[in-house]
Chain A
Amino acid sequence: MDKRESLIDQFSTFIRWREDRFQKWETDARLQRHMAQQLHSDHQGSSQYWVAYWYQHWQQSEAITLSRDHLYAYLQEPCYRVTAQLWSTYQNHKNLSLADLFSQGVLCFQKLLSNFNPVLNPNLAAYASFFLKWRILDELRRQDKSYGHTRWSLLLHSSPTRMRKALVSMGLTDTLLECHLQAWECYVERYQPVKIKQEGKIQPPPAEIWSQITADYNLVMPHPQDVDYIQKWVDTCGQAVFRYIAPADISINQALSSDGSQELMDVIPTLDSSGAEVDSPNDYGAIHSQILTWLKAEWQNLDIKEYRLNAHYRTIVALYYGQGQEQKAISQQLGINQSTVSRTLNKVKTILVDRFLAWSQDHLHMSLQVNDVEAINEAVSHWLWSICQTELGNKEGKP
């Protein structure tokens, strides 16, 4: 993948895939024109400024997705980098598709942005990398878990949400959809406690279980079915969930196909004339610095006894945020469980968010709502990273 250098490219191009590889950056004409127009009147040069700018405008009018789409374009690079890194790390496990993993990342863009707050943490690329890495890893973990299991087992371990989406993506709707789902539920109820394994693999249910499943189904559904239909439906469910890959966000594809007909941007009043209601994104830097200064002092004075933290907590944080070591390596180095490392990191963040909320009430000129807690939590990771990097004596900059 080629890194995008110009601001226009960063906020208006998307990845074009070919044979599961990055082919080139494809421009969305609508976004390109819009960005060019803004750059013409606002000569700010940093991508962090523009991230904050589009974020702000998107918050002001969520219905107009143009601002959000600029951010989606920007996110293509961090998403690709994370995907490529994970793909090469875990490629030996099985045949992974790079484009599929990338799509998994794209699916998270909306949630990612809803937890983002440029005032607290201006570095969207760093935050996105963190966020996407864990989401994609969750997906890999899920795939790995089901690998080597039969469909009968997968049927016992799929969430109703997933099953519903899988059946819908096969074209099932309304009554027939609910019939399939009910048959599957009856299968899970009856077969879960008595599942039969052969060489460790779960087998299809025997005839008498199918009869029971059918009897259960007929109890609760208005139109009774015979055993053959129930078996067929459950089988369809198995296939559906086995093949199901969540489709990536349609709006991105729509953005790519738009060709310049009556554009929404012709209708929106030019954004830079919206007046001084919003702080300039340049002000965000000041708040961010203020927070980091506070955190440095706070972190130095944190008392282990007060919080019953693991004795190694400073080392864990330094290794994780400072040196970027993985939890497993840290756990081996210190001779403790990986889950202990994970929980310690979690507890440190909780404590810091707690102290931040207390401190912010008097010192930060920002009124925080309960909805901000998620963004604060995400930001704490980045603050710790910043502090640990400077502690190491590295120049603070983009990762």
Chain B
Amino acid sequence: MVAEVSDVRNMTRPPMGWAGKTLQEMLAESERLLVDTGHYYGVNKLSLKENDPIRYEKIWSRLRGGIVGARETALNISASPIVREIGELCFGLYTPEGDSITLSTGIMAHVHTMSEAIKHMVRAGYEEDPGINPGDIFTNNDPQLGDVHNADVQEFLPIIYEGELVGWAAGVTHETDVGAPQPASMPIGTVSRYEDGFIVSCQKVGTNDRIHRDYENRITTAVRTPFYWILDERCRIAGCQIMRENVLRVIEEEGLETYKTFIREVIEDTRQAFQKNLKLMTVPGIYRFPSFMDVPHSIDKGQMPEYAAVDSLMNCPMELRIGTDLAFEIDLDGANKWGYHSFNCTPSGIQGGLWVGLSQTLIPNDKVNDGAYLATKFNTPYGTWANPDNPAVSNTLSWMYLIPCFTGMFHGLSTAFTARGYVEEVVAAYPFTGNITQGGGPNHMGNPNGAWSNFEHSACGTSARYVMDGETSCAAVWNPEGDMGDVEAWELLEPLLYLGRNVRPMSGGAGKFRGGLGFETVRLVYNTPHQVMFNARDGHVFQCSGLFGGYPGATGYRHSVKNTDMKERIAKQLPYPTCDQDPENSQIDANVKGRTVVKDQYCYHRPDPHQEYDVYLSLIAGGHGVGDCLERDVALVVSDLNEGYLFGRFAERLYGVVAQQGTDGTWTADLAATEAKRAEMRKARLVRSQSVEEWMAAQRGRVERMEFNSAVRKMYRESHELSPKWRREFTAFWRLPADWTPGSED
């Protein structure tokens, strides 16, 4: 699917690059100079910055101010709560070759994916065909060319000054529906790209600042909610136009040559600053943190092809290497194979994920751009889920793998910060940003083909820090400016009533400091005859561990009650569920009866039919914990009990806190008993413990015979086949015979 490089040396029109070069020549030169000199575009001296630091800063402030303003204005055009309320849009300014210069806030993952899309257009010779002219509009949502998934639609406007391309203004928003066979923006259970819906592959869709009517017609017929798509398209274009005019003004004021010098210097400047930060805040070394994700498609047997309706497990052995030479390398060697599911990723998506992680950890400041990306190196082995050798894989929900994958980087960086003493920056990675509630069908507004993607998972609990608990209902890994939106906004879109939206007790991982809590919403299908709905989040496995002895946040489960007695209950004013709270003492089970109760760990699956008055639970994840539970301040445990965040029966079991509940419901701790209990638990740990040698000896046989379930065996087999290095290390670690293999297909 990666387009061939087309040779534009014999162009029929004058080149639009600088100094008579073609864009291809500029991109090639940029890449060559980075390799040859180690500096962006070979800029080893920041002359403008050194000679006139004030002017340099002024240009920066004007460019960035323009882009932040563009986002604020454009936001108002969108009709979708995903954009307007949750803020799922982002703008960036790029060099002619596609390197980002400055960016707005928002879904920053796309700062680099849009860079890849521009590079694709340059490599594919768009300069000659279809041509790049002032007022042209290009659109892309193809992950193979530069995107995470096709729900994120990007717009590109070239910025041309006196015939030369001086940059690109680009913007991206997340759409509500992508016109796939299943409704909503991130279909689940699709097995190839041909089921992913509407994909626009870096296409020219407008001229003279106007969208072509034929393209608008295509949208109208291709997706279920064209109205949102078209208004979002207008929103992106308006933002890009504001940015473009701002850049042209800066060029008029500062002169073209200064502008050209500036944009290269500022990228190199950020590259150097990234390395200085790395040197300041981390300790060189190799940091390894594996992560996993379940793909339990056996639940969808009969709805998917046989080869796809199987259980599998994603393997992401993330290795982060920080060199004494300030190299920053991310290596996914050992990742297993792509699959017949919607969670495959492309290198472009992985780079987007990296960008998000860096902008929140090593470079959380207003001077971010692609310089940071250029200071990093990547290995996404070919054939794995992170770089499939099949260009037709499905990608609709790449984040399902990306999020677990990058927990390793957050853990690695946090470990490095701790080693250096920057403990305030430590965070125990992110939870998976689910449950993603999606669905469609005839809706309450009279649309027979409604589709909706609820984005309240954009406010998950955040993970614990080294010095305090995580924050409840706060953010998402892909958007630090998280929000869950108002109930009254979502009900405009979805034929489902909110019966409740509550903090979810126990959802944050335990530890000396616990993860921030997630929340849960109980929905009632309402004002529609039928509606398909699906879940998406981790169900069978913990995607990663907590940090320094902390527990991971709770995994999810799905819980729906169908053909319910809700109508009768309401008529008789009997209680109905407004929360679930405790799966072992479920409020849903207690307060609604139905012919079918779905309650299991199959947290994502193909769309499931529901009818009016069915009840559906959505669990939004909590963060992971940091440190040993037995070190948690007793007062914090008591406070959690009194707030209802911790169930009474776990205070002693988890934290060794002996507490009693008074007649008024208030909990108090018995400090002496707690001290004794904790001492006893520590002793018991010693008794239970064994040396690594003993443990490995006990497990080695199991590993050699692969006495695991089929998903685990399949995962190891794939990693074994794809990477000789992984194979060598695995065999050596477990002291297996050199010719050991994980066996053949089951």
Q: Are A and B part of the same complex? A: no
A: residues with CB less than 8 A from B are: none
